[in-house]
Amino acid sequence: MSSRFRIELAACALFALAGCQKQDDEAALSTAQGPDAVPVSGLLPAGSAAPAGINRRALPYYDNAAAVTTGKRLYNQMNCVGCHFNGGGGIGPALMDDAWIYGGRLDQIYDSIYQGRPNGMPAWGGKLTDEQTWQIAAYVRSMSLPQTQAANTGTTPSQHPAPVPRAADMHAGWALPAGTVVHTP
């Protein structure tokens, strides 16, 4: 065998093995659990019900001004501002309104940060600690609070975030936009 043929054969074998590994990784992800056994959330098709109740792991981050402040710092350090700007949206969706595709409760925002989302949101689960992910989620959740929006004037929103009260998340986390028609079989 020529050395070129051997190199091409080895390259093909590596690609084949990489494909097998990717399938194994995808199968593992479909049943995976996040850190400390946080269930990995699925995508909810239109009209489906959101998970009931708030994840108990979110509780320390409610009414926690220090977590929100640290989350704001991490949001800037991790360049979340590059896509979401200061919450007003840009490449990524706005974070200062009540339109949440994957849920607007603190625990649902954590899931979006940890797992990432289709069409652009990277998964940060392996890059941030669990606590950092919760802190960024607390800051992101605070952006849509009336208290935060009232405290921010000028052209740079979300610079004076309010702590997230637990009462603010006593809902399913998302709703279909007004006027959306759901077709049922």
pLDDT value for 182: 56
Q: Are residues 1 and 75 in the same domain?
A: no
Domain housing 1: 1-31
Closest CA to 107 of 144, 65, 155, 56: 56
Domain-located, residue 143: yes
Give the CATH number for residue 90: 1.10.760.10
Q: Are residues 9 and 75 in the same domain?
A: no
Per-residue confidence band for 119, with pLDDT thresholds at 50, 70 and 90: confident
113 vs 107, 116, 129, 132, CA distance in Å? 10, 5, 11, 10
What average pLDDT score do residues 84-98 get? Answer: 85
Q: Are residues 57 and 141 in the same domain?
A: yes
What average pLDDT score do residues 94-100 get? Answer: 84
pLDDT beyond 90 at 123 = yes
What average pLDDT score do residues 147-152 get? Answer: 82
**What pLDDT, in 10s, does the model give residues 18-47?**
444 434 433 333 334 444 444 455 555 455
Q: What is the chain's mean pLDDT, rounded?
A: 76
Give me the number of domains the chain comprises: 2
pLDDT value for 59: 95
Domain-located, residue 176: no
Q: Are residues 119 and 162 in the same domain?
A: yes
pLDDT value for 27: 38
Q: Are residues 66 and 144 in the same domain?
A: yes
Task: Measure the CA–CA gap between 137 and 104, rounded to whole angstroms.
Answer: 10
Domain-located, residue 175: no
Q: Are residues 79 and 27 in the same domain?
A: no
Domain-located, residue 122: yes
